[in-house]
Amino acid sequence: EAGVTQFPSHSVIEKGQTVTLRCDPISGHDNLYWYRRVMGKEIKFLLHFVKESKQDESGMPNNRFLAERTGGTYSTLKVQPAELEDSGVYFCASSQAGLGYGYTFGSGTRLTVV
């Protein structure tokens, strides 16, 4: 089975620009999560989708971040406009419905805002 796919793997943008990250979860996984790791610190929760609905977006830093999950399949995370502090590695993960244990993570998108 294909794993969680994220692209791009790296993105370097200037402050003020817009970037869109994409995540394709494992087929059949209703739960999709976005997490972020900044500057070697802890991995922090951003939000959780169940199918196309946002179940929990309590970790979204501010309204410059917009996440969508079209038709309950892939998800995008848009940052507009990007700020220097948005730099970090953005991880997407997915899990089957009803399972509270470990998810499957993608390899992440390293975002650098200069």
**Residue of 1, 2, 63, 101 that binds other proteins (CB under 8 A):** 101
Q: Does 54 bind other proteins (CB under 8 A)?
A: no
| Cα 1 off chain centre by | 21
Cis peptide before 8 (omega within 30 of 0): yes
User: What are the C-alpha distances in Å from 111 to residues 3, 25, 29, 60?
Assistant: 21, 20, 25, 16
Q: Within a 13 Å sphere around the CA of 91, how many CA atoms are in the beta-carbon half?
A: 16
Q: Does 28 bind other proteins (CB under 8 A)?
A: no
The nearer residue to other proteins, 14 or 27, going by C-beta atoms, is: 27
Q: Does 31 bind other proteins (CB under 8 A)?
A: yes
Rounded Cα–Cα distance for residues 34 and 16 (Å): 22
Q: Does 53 bind other proteins (CB under 8 A)?
A: no
The nearer residue to other proteins, 28 or 40, going by C-beta atoms, is: 40
Q: Residue numbers of the site for other proteins (CB under 8 A)?
A: 4, 9, 31, 33, 35, 40-45, 48, 55-56, 58, 91, 93, 95, 100-108
